[in-house]
Amino acid sequence: MELFLDLLKLPDLGMGFWRIWERNLLIFKANLMETALTVVIEPLIFYWALAYGLGQYVDVINGLSFVEYLFPGFMVLTAMSISYAETSHTCYLRITPNGDYSNYQYTPMRHAEVALGEILWATFKGMLGGLSLAVFAFQQGFFEASHWPILLLILTFISLLFSSLGLLVMTQVKSYEAFSVAYAVFLLPMFLLSGALFPLDALPQFYSYLSMAFPVTHGLLMLRSAFVEIYDTQFYLNLSVVVLVALLICHIAIARFEARFRR
Amino acid sequence: MEIILEARNMTKHIGNLKLIEGLNFSVSKNECYGFLGSAGAGKSTIMQLLSGAAYLSSGDYFIKGLNGRKNRREIQSYIGVLPDHDILDPQLSVMDNLISYGKFVGAKHSDSLKRARDLLRFSRLDDHGQSAPQDLRPGLLRRLRLCMALVNEPEILILDEPSKGLEPVDKRWMWGAIEKLKINGMTVILATSQMEEAERLCDRLAILEKGKMLIEGMPHELVADTVGRSVVEFKVDLADVEYHLKKIKEEYSYQVLNNRIRLFLNSQSETDKALNLVTSDDIKVRRASLDDVFIKVAGYDLQPGAME
């Protein structure tokens, strides 16, 4: 009941979220080399190894080479993983008794502003990871310059969705180990069964239906559709699913964050 | 004197656990008001409540006429807090910690930067601006935490055990800094478990035990009213305690701490009379202190059954 009532309230928001974003940017700058390695270089290495290594043994998929087929899925999965990890594990470490989250409680910052600041920061970081692949793919000629706006839109909402989901999970877990369970339940099925790495046609029909329950599948379908310039009803339906689910989870995550930190 | 803070029936429960109960007190502008007690007495809970980091279960408090329940944000712009735990970001340098915290309290970047530089000068941390907080020795780290509390140029400073665990030289620096801030017009609310700190800094103080206020007043008045002017303390054999007590029981206020007996006396003639009555190889006569008050009203460090 309390959970439901929390969700009905509008978050108590000012511009404080921007200060959290700025603070995270300071940390980002202070650890630029390490962060660049994990956010930008690591996804590129993974992509290169999979696409060009494994890709040599894979024939054409849906009329595309494996390298081209893999790119949109890998980009979306990269944005998903980075944004989720940033708000789940990283934020969890900030709530330990002597963690960073204790300091803003003595300032006029609101809990909702901190939650939104973290979500937006993780969204930015997720987008950065996805963009590193997008820039590489663009240079290789995998998509046209006119596709950039839709690519950015999808990256934004996928990153927003998973940074919100990460924060929501963080507000619910009781121990660090619980993240493994959350990963196995939420992320791993999406990673493997969203059609990002291989088409689901070869699997039983059930898996295709299941994949439609994953928001990341809708983002991916939308991106693949945009790359061949098909903007049909299905495209807008997929767009609606991604945007609405992202905003809904963001709202729930902020409400649960407020509830968790209100003492 | 203008009242800057007023607490009415402040109560905090977590489940069935009563952390503080029915506290009433007021603090005047430019006063240093202290809460004295051991761990678990409720000091930190009061500091957390007044600083807006925790919420009251019942009761109210008003800071500058604003109700703490309804005006948390406004109140937090008037106060600076040095909590009993570390609030520094280990991933940021000393300077960036101050700048970032300055922005949290609503300052612009340029103002935060200027304020950070001023505070580093004030705390003599100028040379440590680019260091990581964890590289500072404990005394300097505590100075930095004091600086964090001063970032928004607060009118009220809430200090939870500001010198606990510090080396004597760092303690003296901290106490000197707090006195300087008070001279400059700041109101200070202090939680402490150290008699010396309470005696040196507090204009008035409250002794707490299990979330309740046992006694409140100016330190010297508390000493005079509760235990008197001087203390005669003497050691006896544990087996002879009852024998010695029989001689003094009727005439003096006293305490027994294992094999030590303390007599609380109000005048020189009373002290002289008591000294004639006491027989021991180890007799000390000293001025009564806050320590005596604390032990008398709270009685914690007495062995079970030792106090009469």
Please give the residue range of the domain that contains residue A32.
2-261
- Summarize pLDDT for B60-82 with one digit per residue, the tens: 999 999 999 999 889 999 999 99
- Contact yes or no for A162/A80 (Cβ under 8 A): yes
Option in A23, A97, A262 nearest B100 (CB): A23
pLDDT of residue B137: 94
Instruction: Pick the last residue of a domain from B107, B131, B151.
Output: B151
Instruction: Pick the last residue of a domain from B136, B151, B166.
Output: B151
Instruction: Pick the last residue of a domain from B110, B134, B151.
Output: B151
pLDDT of residue A237: 94
Short-list B231, B224, B298, CA closest to B263: B231
Looking at the fold, whether B266 and B213 belong to one and the same domain comes out as no
Q: Considering just the CA atoms, what is the radius of gyration of chain B in Å?
A: 22
pLDDT < 70: residue spans in chain B: 300-308
Is there a domain that residue B302 lies in? no
Q: Is B156 helix (H, G, I), strand (E, B) or coil?
A: strand
CB–CB contact A103 B74 (8 Å): no
CB–CB contact B93 A108 (8 Å): no
Q: How many CA atoms lie within 13 A of A229 on its CB side?
A: 4
Distance CA B129, CA A24 (A): 19
Closest residue in A to B80 (Cα) is A106
CA dihedral A87, A88, A89, A94 (to 10 degrees): 60
Q: Enumerate residues 74 to 133 of chain B having a beta carbon within 8 A of any beta carbon in chain A.
A: 74, 76-77, 79, 81, 83, 85-89, 91-93, 96, 99-101, 103-106
* Count of domains observed in chain B: 3
Distance CA A29, CA A89 (A): 20
Q: Quick check: A263 pLDDT over 80?
A: no
Residue A53's alpha-carbon distances to A47, A56, A62, A195, in angstroms, are: 9, 6, 19, 19
Q: Quick check: A15 pLDDT over 90?
A: no
- Summarize pLDDT for B217-275 with one digit per residue, the tens: 999 999 999 888 899 999 988 888 888 888 887 788 888 878 888 889 888 888 888 88
Looking at the fold, whether B164 and B39 belong to one and the same domain comes out as yes
Is there a domain that residue B47 lies in? yes
**Which of B73, B104, B109, B131 to probe by mutation at the A interface, max A CB count within 10 Å?**
B104
- Summarize pLDDT for A71-85 with one digit per residue, the tens: 999 999 999 999 999
Residue listed under structure tokens 């109560």: B11
- pLDDT above 90 coverage of chain A, percent: 43
Average pLDDT over residues A9-29: 86
pLDDT of residue A98: 53
* Count of domains observed in chain A: 1
Option in B53, B77, B148 nearest A105 (CB): B53
Looking at the fold, whether B69 and B187 belong to one and the same domain comes out as yes
Option in A27, A31, A103 nearest B101 (CB): A103
Looking at the fold, whether B139 and B272 belong to one and the same domain comes out as no
Is there a domain that residue B266 lies in? yes
- Contact yes or no for A169/A83 (Cβ under 8 A): no
CB–CB contact B89 A23 (8 Å): yes
Higher pLDDT, A4 or A119: A119
Looking at the fold, whether B275 and B129 belong to one and the same domain comes out as no
pLDDT of residue B198: 93
ipTM of the modeled complex? 0.78
Using the Cβ of A100 and the Cβ atoms of chain B, whether some distance falls under 8 Å is answered with: yes
CB–CB contact B89 A110 (8 Å): no
Is there a domain that residue B85 lies in? no
**Which of A15, A24, A91, A103 to probe by mutation at the B interface, max B CB count within 10 Å?**
A103
Q: Is B166 helix (H, G, I), strand (E, B) or coil?
A: coil
Indicate which CATH number applies to the domain containing B170. Answer: 3.40.50.300
Looking at the fold, whether B68 and B161 belong to one and the same domain comes out as yes
Is there a domain that residue B197 lies in? yes
Please give the residue range of the domain that contains residue B293.
223-297
Looking at the fold, whether B60 and B3 belong to one and the same domain comes out as yes
